[in-house]
Amino acid sequence: DQQVKQNSPSLSVQEGRISILNCDYTNSMFDYFLWYKKYPAEGPTFLISISSIKDKNEDGRFTVFLNKSAKHLSLHIVPSQPGDSAVYFCAANKGGGADGLTFGKGTHLIIQP
Amino acid sequence: GAVVSQHPSWVICKSGTSVKIECRSLDFQATTMFWYRQFPKQSLMLMATSNEGSKATYEQGVEKDKFLINHASLTLSTLTVTSAHPEDSSFYICSARDPGGWDTEAFFGQGTRLTVV
């Protein structure tokens, strides 16, 4: 049972526009959410996170929104740049981080020139 | 940010042999490290939690006698794939939490591509 879902396997966005990546989760015990960026044959690189006590966190071009009632979060990248092309994983955790992360299947973001 | 180093980055081995993968936290001490596996076009799946000085905790469906984990020090965890078979071919990634960092941010190694022939 997939507890973290990324329903879009891929997303194509024009350079300079906004990229919106979506993530849904089913486990209400999750209280911390993270986004990772990954290139082929490399480990994930941490991008941004959000605690369940917040509904928004912003870091430069990256903003994560959390809607707890809908069990939905999204990552906004604006403006999108060619270097943003990668696979983005949504991950969730519970209980203060003693457990490992539960990942979605990832969304391949392609930034078109 | 914190750095986690994983070695080797790729390995090819014969079926039936064992392979050891190392995961090191370079600038912090990690009492807990995690091992993940990723099959092509799939998500990263948590295999086990490696605890310094104690036994690892394995996720359901992961054979502990096949995937031996040793967390001998606060900066090193090793994963040994014993009697490897072609179906064990995958991308193995470790991660570690910086206890001095905020909340549950985890840093990942570069990953190890294992191919069993």
Question: Could you report how far apart the first and last alpha carbons of chain A are, in Å?
Answer: 37
What is residue B49's predicted lDDT score, i.e. its pLDDT? 92
- Choose the closest CB to B104 out of A36, A96, A103: A96
**% residues pLDDT > 70 (chain A):** 96
Q: Is the pLDDT of residue B21 over 80?
A: yes
In this predicted structure, what is the pLDDT of residue B29? 86
Which of A45, A57, A39 minimizes the C-alpha distance to A109?
A39
pLDDT of the residue at B117: 96
Parallel, antiparallel, or unpaired: how do β-strands A32-38 and B67-73 relate? unpaired
Average pLDDT over residues B19-24: 96
Of A32, A41, A51, the CB nearest to B113: A41
Which residue of chain A comes nearest to B114, CA vs CA?
Answer: A41
Count other C-beta atoms under 10 Å from residue A22's C-beta.
17
Per-residue tokens: B100 = 């001095």
- Taking only the tens place, the pLDDT of each residue in B32-67 is 899 999 988 788 999 999 988 888 999 999 999 999
Quick one: average pLDDT of A86-95?
90
Per-residue pLDDT band at B81 (split at 50, 70, 90): very high
The span from the CA of A6 to the CA of B12, in Å, is 32
Inter-chain touch A46–B1, beta carbons under 8 Å: yes
Distance CA B112, CA B3 (A): 16
Q: Higher pLDDT residue, B72 or A70?
A: A70
Indicate the range of A10-14, B19-23, B47-51 predicted with least confidence. Answer: B47-51
| DSSP state for residue A97 in the 8-state scheme | G
Retrieve residue B112's tokens.
């190890």
**CA A32 to CA A62: how far, in whole Å?**
17
Give the Å distances, CA to CA, from A7 to A107, B33, B49, B85. Answer: 8, 29, 28, 32
Q: Is A91 exposed, middle or buried (0-12, 13-18, 19+ CB in 10 A)?
A: buried
What pLDDT is recorded for position B19? 97
Q: B111, A34: Cβ pair inside 8 Å?
A: no
Ramachandran angles phi, psi of A84, nearest 5°: -80, -10
